[in-house]
Structure 1
Amino acid sequence: MARKFMALFVGALLALSFAGIAQAKTLRFQCVYPETAYAGQTTTYFADQVNKMTNGKLKIKVFWPGQLVKSREALESLKSGMIDGYSGSFLYFTGVFPEVNVQWLPFNWSSPAEAKDILLNKGYHKVFAEAMSKHGVTFLGSISVATMGLMTKFPVNNLADLQGKKIRAFGLEALIVQALGAAAAAIPGAEQYMALQRGTVDGTDYPWYTLKKYKLYEVLNYVSSPAYHTPGVIELAINTKVFNSLPKDQQEAVKKAALMAMNRSFDMSPAWDKEAIEFAAKKDVKIIELSKDELNLWIQKLMPLYEQTASKSPYCRQLVDILKANMKARGVKF
């Protein structure tokens, strides 16, 4: 009798154990940035928080650039379920998702704190999420990638200094440099070091922290401030069917972890920028601060891009209106 009881007891324990294993689920997230990049670190943080909050019942496995799909294939792969989630910019997909261009309009916010307030409290995320939902994708949140803007081999004190120069930029960034009077060169980020070294281009539109991480200080001499994007913002998203298939408590864990990751990245942005500025000074890369009048002139030159972008879709119009209302409130004239 005792043996029979023990056998039943052990069997019950095994059944519970296997049930726990069966309930565990792993989601595959593709990150388009290296693991060591700030965005990669934030994505890892997000995955760790999901694992902790679900006691291991839901795990996020992060795959790095090219491990699952190519960056430009990520949206279709996400929609089809080939990957479960995505961490990176939707700028790769502006042909079908023009709304992402809005947050890359130049000088749209002046600090990480202001950006976070617009995204979370002014209705921006709500509209953005609705636009993304039309593609079978659930928007989880934004991730800051720190300050991004114009870095050059030559000093830029005014618009005249940009005339006839060639800047590495693509997409909306190319339209920005063209509006300011420079020519744009669509050179991949991985190839820009050699292009700058050889003089193929005279500057780039890229995150400040890459002066150190990508050793761009070796081929650049000046940084223009304020930057176009303070900070630049990318996306964290998940396949809607996959998200809806999760138990409610796991859905809440994913959303909470995404918000925590967002807050962490925006809160750390000033420190990332400070590190970049201090590093630039050590390497004799000069930060040139535009005068207030010169900055206003740049903004006037760039404002037509807001209307061009707003015309792309009703969602774009709503998002641009949110940005312009905030800019007007802080005294920007346009």
Structure 2
Amino acid sequence: MASLQLTLKKFTIIAMVVTLFSAIHTAQAEEPVHNFKMATGWAGGPLSTIGAQAFADNVEQISNGRIKVQVFTGGALGNALKVSETVKNGVAEMGHTWMGYDWGKDSTTVLFGGYAGSPDSERMLHWLYQGGGVELQREFREEKFEVISFPLFIRTAEVFLHSRKPVKTLEDLQGLKLRTAGAWLEMSASLGAAPVTTPGGDVYPMLERGAIDATEWGTPWENISPGFHKVAKYVIIPGIHQPVAPFELVINKTAWGTLSDQDKQAVETAAKLTTLNSWLRIGQEDAKAMKFYVAEGNEIIELDPEVQFKAQEIAKTWAEKQATDNEWFARVYKNQQEFLALWEDADSYRKVLTRK
């Protein structure tokens, strides 16, 4: 009898455990699954693979499958240069873009997206995640553009130009037809260039047929996949126009409101994880890419110091002018400059001299 009672108790416990797990499974199954579309500005390359798609994979995993994001190539859901507008209007619930594309509506965007006066990528990451940048970005985008915004993907310094002509001096820049975007459109014109802007997918054919003399796009590694090195012999460095380029995740406010607090946290965590991973990957691959260009027969040209200093002077003058006319620009610029002042002696206590 005792043995029978013990067996019954075991069955009772097992039944209770099965019931409990069944209830948990049912509760999980009843949780809403969010199927979001993501508009992007990219035809492919690292921005798609270790940026937009990596975020989609990360957020699905972190949210335990409750958030699924389908990534669309640039232009599939709207203008590739107007992703924030596509998301605001609800054509897509999410978007992956570079905030600087919206500089014509509000120049503050370049402070978050990077411009000739920005710090390097390490300092920018610290400003974003430790110096108040993320909070300012979220507040700015929501107030001025009615979208939710977080950093998503970050570049190291870009290649200044892939060019059909050698470019080293200020004289070489005079009348040079170059593809660019953001505030550098205005600044490069001040250097004497003839800039135009176009979506990424149009750059290679324009360069190939000579409609433009040169282009900037991404870092050394990122520029391998578009193939600019095949139609432009000269690789011009350093990327004085873009020492860093944080990209962003934009989210439709209504879609954001449908997420639980837990899933909102999952989105933020996935975006931050993707951003940090992109920085690590790009830094490593850029080092390999420079050797690749040499092996492919490209000529690496370093800009004269005069050009580099002149670009920084133009950027400083431009930013100070923006700050006098734009309260948001002034607020973010002040915060960024205070952060950089804190870091101004960082090289002295962090870098050690080495012999080559």
* 2:188 maps to 1:184: no
Give secondary structure in 2 for the equivalent of 1:276: helix
Change (3 A) 1:199 1:241: closer
Residue from 153, 165, 171 that aligns with 1:143: 153
Residue from 184, 197, 201 that aligns with 2:212: 201
Change (3 A) 1:56 1:211: closer
- Find the counterpart in structure 2 of residue 241 from structure 1: 254
Give secondary structure in 2 for the equivalent of 1:59: strand
For the 8 Å contact 1:108–1:327, the answer to whether it is kept is: no
* 2:184 maps to 1:165: no
Distance 1:238 1:16 in 2: 29
Distance 2:222 2:58 in 1: 27
Residue from 229, 242, 252 that aligns with 2:265: 252
How far 1:73 moved relative to its partner? 4.8
| Aligned residue pair count | 322
Change (3 A) 1:224 1:230: same
Pick which of 256-265 and 298-307 moved more. Answer: 298-307
Identity, % of aligned positions: 21
Change (3 A) 1:129 1:187: closer
For the 8 Å contact 1:167–1:177, the answer to whether it is kept is: no
Distance 2:214 2:156 in 1: 19
Distance 1:46 1:283 in 2: 32
Distance 1:36 1:211 in 2: 8
Alignment of 1:117-156 (within 5 A): 117-134=126-143, 135-148=145-158, 149-156=160-167
* 2:236 maps to 1:224: yes
Gaps in structure 2 of 5+ consecutive residues: 1-17, 346-356
- Aligned partner letter, 1:176: M
- Aligned partner letter, 2:66: K
For the 8 Å contact 1:84–1:242, the answer to whether it is kept is: yes
Distance 1:82 1:194 in 2: 29
Distance 2:283 2:26 in 1: 46
Q: CA RMSD in A?
A: 3.0
- Aligned partner letter, 1:217: H
Give secondary structure in 2 for the equivalent of 1:83: coil
Q: Which has the larger radius of gyration?
A: 2
**TM-score, normalising length from structure 1?**
0.83
Change (3 A) 1:175 1:327: farther
Give secondary structure in 1 for the equivalent of 2:56: helix
Change (3 A) 1:185 1:246: closer
* 2:26 maps to 1:53: no
**TM-score, normalising length from structure 2?**
0.79
Change (3 A) 1:40 1:310: farther
